[in-house]
Structure 1
Amino acid sequence: MDDAQQQTNRGTARTATGLRTVATTVAPASPGLPGTPGAAGSRTPAHGQGPDTPGATSTADARVMVGVTIVVVALTVLQRFALPLGSPVPVTIPVVAAVLGYLAYHGHVREDGASVRTYALAMGALSVVALVDVLWRGTGSLTSLLLLVVTWAALCFRVDERRLHLFPRVQRRFETFMLVFAGIGIVQMLAQFAGIWSYTDLLRTVVPQNLLFQGYNTSYPIEYGSPVIKANAFVFVEPSVFSQFLALALLSVLSRGREYWRVAVFAVALVCTVTGTGFMVLGFGLVVLAVRRGGLWAVRAAVVLGIAGVAALLSPLGPILLSRSGEAGQTNSSGSLRFVQPYQYLLDRWSSDPWSVLTGLGPGQADRISDAIFAQTGLPISFAGAAKMVLEYGLPAFLLAVVFLFVAAVRRSPAPTVALAAVFLNAVTSSSFLAANIFYVLLPMATLFVGRRTELSVWEEQRTDDDPTDAVEVTVPPWTTPLGGTR
């Protein structure tokens, strides 16, 4: 029987039965967005499959996931690697540029209009005050300004709206990477306490020094004079950065509302870093979650957090963690040098030089001031990202940069808690607004997937899906079943 005759017979059968043809089912372009039948790269999932079901994917989805995975590898495995181009350049910068270029070539990444406009406004203001400082004060590094402009440009890009449904997969992939490193960090600490291994920086023994960042506190003891070194999973530039990434992964699990066992692993590894900055990121994120999810969730979280805190204090590291809890109020302690004295210096400078409130002291000056203080006093004062930007560019330009970060990373984010925690990590607990190997954690966890759905709406839907009392039974009459399949 030829094709024409087959089509005629099918049409006759439909007429005889009175049944209409059922349209092909296409997976939604993204959660909360209408489907795009016929769009390039889409495929028809089997009955019961959704865009997050294993196997319900497309070539475009695969490309985006591979690209984002490469970025995550650069942020973790390659975090300590640098290109020896005069001054060391994070290998993350060319990696991210290549990934964005590849995805843009295939049409899976585009620029975001609102982000581009606010980026141009913020960078224009930063450039103006930097030129004022160079011409008037004779201070500032245009190279530092150029690095900032180039690094922040990546935040202007978004994945295509048809790929927004991939964000939960991206979160889970980042968490999986961090689970591996969490396990390594826990083993590092247990092996040292058991006396079966003495810490050795394995990466430094196999990689040439000119290909690794220098100047970071990559390996330092849990307390003065102790032979036990804080966990850093070998690949993180500092235990504090490791702890901040662990806190971000933990908050990612909570925002997804799935696989809570991961929280326990991240929490144990967080304790093994014996640093306070990760707990600061975690505390900030929990406050945001409590505000977003209401009082009942906050009470439950407080109970769990209290139990976890007691367990941490009863561990061998408990006394050390407890002794560090009041560091910020102790003169010349690590906490004071990072979270008190930089802001005291900033206020004193504003008092003696009011114009610096408006124009700052010039790009790169925060590092020069830190080096000068260290040379004079031996105190390693460290300016966090926000304090550094205010000191170098002034308050008005800094506020425009904040607006850009809000538009690029937080507004319409699929997981506002994770996005805010990532911004907090870079602005308050780390001096990484120019350190792309840390700063770019904003890309997979925030900016690339800015869209229409929010973490709260996803969480509410998941809670509803898990509640059998909300299930509605639907009975489909047999006569509505089309020939050759089910509706």
Structure 2
Amino acid sequence: MSSLLSLGGPRRFGGASRQERVEPSGPIAPEWVEEVQPEPVEVLPRPLRIGIALALVSLILLTRFGLNTGAYGLNFAVPILYVMIFKGLADDKVNLDLPGLLLYVAFISVGAISLMVNANLPYRQDGSMASLMLLASLYLPFVFVIKTYPMSREGWLWTMRLVLNISLLVAIAGIVQFYLQFVWKPTWLFDFSPLIPKAISADVLANSEIEAGSFLKSNGFFLREPSAFSFLMAFSLICELALFKRWMRVGVYAFALMLSYSGTGLLALGFGLLFPFGFKTVVRVSAIAVVGGILLLLFGDALNLSFTLGRIGEFSAESSSGYIRYVAPMRLVYELIDSDPWTAFLGHGPGTVFHAVRAYEFHDPTWAKLMYEYGVLGFVACLSLIAYGMSRSHAPVQIRATLFFNWLIQGGHLLTPESVLMCYVLLALWPAPETRRPRYAGSTMPMTTQQFDERHDMKGAMR
């Protein structure tokens, strides 16, 4: 009787007054279901929005800036994300992910053991504790994930729109920068790092001014090198094609990519377009290849695109960038991976890859640095942590594949905040897509009387 009385009159739910008819017990018949308007759900809590926005600005627009300790310039995104995570934990908006924590502990433990095993060897320089500490600080965020909530995918899409808006700004800046050099080329146009105060300068050695014939390659003004600009444009193309298909933006990103004259973006674009595997992928890649061929025929001479295509032969020349970045690291690992009984499993210790003396010049892509410094065990532990974080993402597979490919192969990104934390903010920060969502108005599963009362009582208690 009391339950009938409590439901007998008009009641307010979600700001609207409704008259209801219910049976004394059992589920409500479909024809008696009253429409219940869902409460407005915030797409993303405000502190998380602020933290993500500031982190993305730091990772893309402020790559030349950082907290300068004298030995290292730490990107502002690192402290920003830590503050955001601590605030999220306090507000119960961020969770500690147990599998991620176990993988992180395993990885850092391998690094610590490698450092101790290789310490004080008479024939080798010691490993670097600072390198291990930086590694630990950059990968610790992968242990934390936003708490699952009904609008988590919408929150992730908000983040992707934001990163693409920032990328569009960089694309326009890169195009203007490229053509401005022909009429006005001040000293700061391609590298304004000398103008930044030392205390807030990233102070990273970079090739900001690279010639491509009679002109300089565009680096997007904000970014340190044409290769970074090239990858950002390629990644933006992948995201735009996978999510929003705004063709005007696709054209801007593609044009900016050409003006970088860098193979980094082309490799990333080619790799990303291979996913997901299937017939549509073959059609898509073929169509893009045809369009690219037409552009090459029409504008190849005007834009000097033969310079970019000619770099394909670099992989066989020891002094070339392609050989140093992609081939020489394989030689290094093959020659020195088992120089001591333990190095194949534990590596030579953190921060030691450039202590190796070879007759050829080599770069330190993530995979090679992991194998050389942390061995097979560290390599597997680190890849497991990254792969696990990416696996729960809302992102389509081509976005995940492109970011992973860049982090692992395309540069010395193991300790680069711009690459590591981009993987975190865009992928690993987000909870796995929900398998069940709450049912509201228009649902095919009507709400029972008990469910209605429980929702109403919960709202009353919260008030």
TM-score scaled to structure 2, two decimals?
0.80
Determine the structure 1 residue equivalent to 2:243.
256
Residue 189 in structure 1 maps to residue 173 in structure 2? no
Per-residue deviation, 1:354: 5.5
Instruction: State the match for 2:305 in structure 1.
Output: 318
Deviations 1:48-83 (A, max 9, x none): xxxxxxxxx528533332221111111112111122
Which of 158, 169, 178 is matched with 2:145 structurally?
158
Moved more, 129-138 or 88-97: 129-138
**Residue of structure 2 in register with 1:22 after alignment:** 34
* Secondary structure of 1:134's aligned partner: coil
Following TM superposition, by how much is the alpha carbon of 1:418 offset from its aligned partner in structure 2, in angstroms? 1.4
Amino acid of the residue matched to residue 434 of structure 1?
A: L
CA drift of 1:412 comes to 5.0
CA displacement, residues 335-367 of structure 1 (integer Å, 9 cap, x when unaligned): 111111121122111365564222211111123
Deviations 1:428-465, CA, capped at 9 Å, x for gaps:
112111111332111222101141269xxxxxxxxxxx
| 1:172 corresponds to 2:161 | yes
Given that 1:412 and 1:453 are in contact with CA atoms closer than 8 Å, whether structure 2 keeps it comes out as no
Amino acid at match of 1:222: E
Matched residue, 1:114: 99
Matching of residue 125 in structure 1 with residue 110 in structure 2: yes
CA deviation vs aligned residue, 1:289-329 (integer Å, no higher than 9, x gap): 3x1xx203421332123312441463323121121122111
User: C-alpha separation between the residues in 1 aligned to 2:138 and 2:211?
Assistant: 33
SS of aligned partner of 2:68: strand
Partner of 1:4: none
Which of 285, 293, 299 matches 2:283? 299
Distance in 2, Cα, partners of 1:13 & 1:93: 53
Q: How does 1:36-51 map to 2 (within 5 A)?
A: 43-44=39-40
Structure 1: gaps of 5 or more residues = 1-6, 27-42, 45-56, 455-473, 475-487
Q: Given that residues 426 and 433 in structure 1 are in contact (C-alpha distance below 8 angstroms), is that contact kept between their aligned partners in structure 2?
A: yes
Counterpart CA distance in 2 for 1:172 and 1:13 is 42
Query: AA paired with 2:397?
Result: P
3-state SS of the aligned residue for 1:430?
coil
Partner of 2:69: 85
Structure 1 residue 427 displacement after superposition: 1.2
CA distance in 1, matches of 2:293, 2:203: 34
Residue 208 of structure 1 deviates from its aligned partner by 1.9
- In structure 2, what is the Cα distance between the partners aligned to 1:205 and 1:132? 41
The CA distance in 2 between the partners of 1:95 and 1:14, in whole Å, is 49
| Aligned amino acid, residue 311 of structure 2 | R
- Counterpart position of 1:139: 126
* Superposition map of 1:401-420 within 5 A: 401-411=382-392, 413-420=394-401
When residues 81 and 206 of structure 1 are mapped into structure 2, their CA distance, relative to the original with a 3 A threshold, is same
Q: Secondary structure at the match of 2:275?
A: helix
Are residues 368 and 70 of structure 1, via their aligned partners in 2, closer, same or farther at CA, if it must alter by over 3 Å? Answer: same
Deviation of 1:261 (Å): 3.0
Indicate the RMSD between aligned Cα atoms, in angstroms.
Answer: 2.8
1:237 aligned partner:
224
Check the 8 A contact 2:393/2:427 in 1, yes or no.
Answer: no
Is the 8 Å Cα contact of residues 94 and 147 (structure 2) preserved in structure 1? yes
For residues 62 and 118 of structure 1, the distance between their equivalents in structure 2, rounded to whole angstroms, comes to 30
| Aligned-partner Cα distance in 2 for 1:408–1:8 | 50
Of the three residues 183, 201, 205, the one matched with 1:212 is 201
Tell whether the 8 Å contact from 1:358 to 1:396 is kept in structure 2 after alignment. Answer: yes
Unaligned runs of 5+ in 2: 1-6, 12-17, 23-28, 436-443, 445-463
Deviation larger for 97-106 or 182-191: 97-106
C-alpha separation in 2, matches of 1:446 and 1:60:
15
In structure 2, C-alpha distance between the alignment counterparts of 1:404 and 1:151, rounded to whole Å? 12
Q: 1:183 to 1:358 in 2, by over 3 A?
A: same
State, as a whole percentage, how many aligned pairs show the same letter. Answer: 23
Aligned counterpart, 2:256: 269
Instruction: Tell me by how many angstroms 1:233 deviates.
Output: 1.9
Give 1:108's aligned amino acid.
K
Higher helix proportion (structure 1 or 2)? 1
**In structure 2, what residue type is equivalent to 1:382?**
H
- Distance in 2 of aligned mates of 1:13 and 1:130: 71
1:337 is aligned to 324
Give the aligned partner of residue 83 of structure 2. 98
Distance 1:142 1:171 in 2: 36
* Matched residue SS, 2:177: helix
Residues 169, 59 of structure 1: alpha-carbon distance in 2 compared, 3 angstrom cutoff: closer
Q: Tell me the residue number matched to 1:444.
A: 425
Counterpart contact for 2:97–2:145, Cα < 8 Å: yes
Q: What's the secondary structure of 2:100's corresponding residue?
A: helix
Q: In 2 relative to 1, CA 200–24 (structure 1 residues): closer, same or farther, beyond 3 Å? A: farther
Q: Does the alignment pair 1:287 with 2:274? A: yes
Separation (CA, whole Å) in 2 of partners of 1:352 and 1:115: 32
Are 1:218 and 1:236, in contact at CA under 8 Å, matched by a contact in 2? no
Question: Is the partner of 1:422 in helix, strand or coil?
Answer: helix
Distance 1:232 1:141, change over 3 A: same
1:213-238 CA distances to partner (integer Å, 9 max, x unpaired)? 33433422233xx4522111222121
Q: Is the 8 A contact 1:133 1:139 kept in 2?
A: yes
Higher relative contact order (CA 8 A, sep 6+): 2
Alignment of 1:306-385 (within 5 A): 306-312=290-296, 314-315=299-300, 316-350=303-337, 352-353=339-340, 355-369=342-356, 381-385=362-366
Q: Is the 8 A contact 1:414 1:452 kept in 2?
A: no
C-alpha distance in 2 between matches for 1:127 and 1:352 = 20
Matched residue type, 2:94: V
Q: CA deviation at 1:334?
A: 0.8
